[in-house]
Structure 1
Amino acid sequence: MIADAYPRSRGHLLVVPLEHTADYFEIPADVKAEMWTLVDSARSYLQGEFQPDGWTVRINIGDVAGQTVGHAHIHVVPRYEP
Structure 2
Amino acid sequence: MKDFTTISDDKILYKGNYFFIIEDGFPVSPGHLLIISNEVRTDFFELTEEEKNDLPRMIEKAKEIILAKYQPAAYNIGMNCGADAGQTVFHFHCHVIPRYKGDMENPRGGVRHVIPSKGNY
Give the alignment's TM-score, normalised by structure 1: 0.92
The match for 2:40 is 20
The match for 1:77 is 97
Per-residue CA deviation, residues 14-52 of structure 1 (Å, 9 max, x unaligned), is 111100011211110111222221111111221232010
Higher relative contact order (CA 8 A, sep 6+): 1
Structure 2: segments with no counterpart, 5+ residues: 1-20, 103-121
- SS at structure 2 position matched to 1:37: helix
- SS at structure 2 position matched to 1:51: coil
Cα distance, 1:9 vs. partner?
Answer: 0.4
Root-mean-square deviation over aligned CA pairs? 1.0
Based on CA coordinates, which of the two structures has the bigger radius of gyration? 2
Residue 9 in structure 1 maps to residue 25 in structure 2: no
Give the alignment's TM-score, normalised by structure 2: 0.64
Do 1:52 and 1:79's aligned partners in 2 also have CA atoms closer than 8 Å?
A: yes
The match for 2:56 is 36
AA at the equivalent of 1:4: D
Structure 1: segments with no counterpart, 5+ residues: none
- SS at structure 1 position matched to 2:89: coil
Percent of pairs with identical residues = 37
Do 1:17 and 1:35's aligned partners in 2 also have CA atoms closer than 8 Å?
A: no
List structure 1 segments (4+ residues) > 3 angstroms apart after TM superposition.
none
Aligned length: 82
